[in-house]
Amino acid sequence: MAKKVLITGGAGFIGSNLTEALLHKGYQVVVLDNFSTGKPGNIAPFLTNPDFTLVVGDIRVKEDCQKACEGVDYVLHEAALGSVPRSIKDPATTNETNISGFVNMLVAARDAGVKRFLFAASSSTYGDSPSLPKVEEVIGKPLSPYAVTKYVNELYADVFQKTYGLEYIGLRYFNVFGRRQDPNGAYAAVIPLFVKKLMAHEAPVVNGDGSYSRDFTYIDNVIQMNLLALNTTDKSAVNQIYNTAYGESTTLNQLVKYLVEDLSQFDPKIASIEPLYGPNRLGDIPHSLASIEKAKTHLGYDPQFSMREGLKACCKWYWENL
Ligand SMILES: NC(=O)c1ccc[n+]([C@@H]2O[C@H](COP(=O)([O-])OP(=O)(O)OC[C@H]3O[C@@H](n4cnc5c(N)ncnc54)[C@H](O)[C@@H]3O)[C@@H](O)[C@H]2O)c1
């Protein structure tokens, strides 16, 4: 029998890419989503697939979590309210979704006898720690309500393991980008936001002087990590947290340069656009660069897409789909 996997947040950017990859590999996939930031269009192609089930519901509602977990072997918990600025504007809703919703999912997974609970952790957990590259064991104090919620997720998962024996793996994602990431709305991530601006022949606005750097991680590397974490049979590899990144940093100024370079292949007018600069954003970490040694050693992680390769593929996708 094919493994049955519940993907919460499956209508979102990362969740819909995981859904597509798992269906392609022959898994049965259940998606639980309330479409708060996810899009029906992201899962529309899967609706006719007999291996796909959609549960429209909310992780803040215990019964919805229970229903979605019925008969499920594995959970990939991706549903959350992302964005540091959103959490600063509305910490209570971020907390309800990212912490209460997370606990509801842990309880439902435990009660359904789920074999392993994978979840989307975050590089924001490194907070004010200045050390680079980031290694899993050394974190600082959180700099935003969002970062608090993501750290609390890790603590809860570990406590559920110790108290109820629920197996888990937490994947600390570092600035994931790629097809289907939403370029719209006040809380859009930097890459889709800048792509949209450049495609409209407008100058992207960089927060700060552009020297802040990120370990931008292409979605296909994230898919690989999830598959490895789902399938590992090494008992010493579970109940752990792993950085999920490429392991190289890119400054915002470099990012703009690369985007201009890649998008001007499709529209030469983009080549002359220069960025504008604004103030630094509250809650932002200056530099973020992952050590991916732990994932390489314990899970056999071998990311196939560099930032540059991923960015080229991503620009092509936006050019064809925006
Ligand atoms: N994108 C990144 O760079 C990044 C980095 C670190 C961590 N993460 C984490 O990865 C996960 C996925 O992020 P994403 O970028 O795909 O975001 P996204 O907003 O595209 O996806 C989140 C999905 O969760 C759903 N959702 C939100 N609240 C819900 C609720 N109460 N009940 C049911 N569904 C709900 C949304 O509708 C959406 O489909 C999140 O947990 C996020 O915190 C993402």
Instruction: State pLDDT tens for residues 143-172.
Output: 999 999 999 999 999 999 999 999 999 999
CA of 22 to the centre of ligand 1 (A): 18
Distance of CA 96 to the CA centre of its chain: 19
Residues facing residue 56 across a β-bridge = 33
Q: What are the distances in angstroms from CA 254 to CA 125, 153, 281, 283, 286?
A: 25, 33, 19, 22, 15
218 counts as catalytic: no
The parts of the chain modelled with pLDDT lower than 50 are: none
The string of DSSP codes covering 3-41 is -EEEEETTTSHHHHHHHHHHHHTT-EEEEEE--SSS-HH
Q: What is the largest CA-CA distance in the chain?
A: 59
pLDDT of residue 88: 96
Ligand 1 and 79: CB distance under 6 A: yes
Asked whether 31 and 43 are in contact (CB, 8 A), the reply is: yes
| pLDDT confidence of residue 283 | 80
Looking from the CA of 113 toward its CB, the CA atoms found within 13 Å total 2
Q: pTM for the complete prediction?
A: 0.98
At residue 44, the pLDDT reads: 98
CA of 97, closest atom in ligand 1: 31
The answer to whether residues 183 and 259 touch, using CB atoms and an 8 Å cutoff, is: no
Pairing of strands 217-218, 176-177: parallel
Q: Would you say the CB of residue 38 lies under 6 angstroms from ligand 1? A: yes
Q: Looking at ligand 1, which residue's alpha carbon is closest to its atom 43? A: 82
> One of 27, 74, 146, 318 is an active-site residue; which one?
146
- Of 35, 36, 83, 124, the residue with max ligand 1 atoms within 8 A of its CB, to mutate for a pocket test, comes to 36
Residue 297 DSSP SS3: helix
pLDDT of 235 reads 97
pLDDT score, position 285:
81
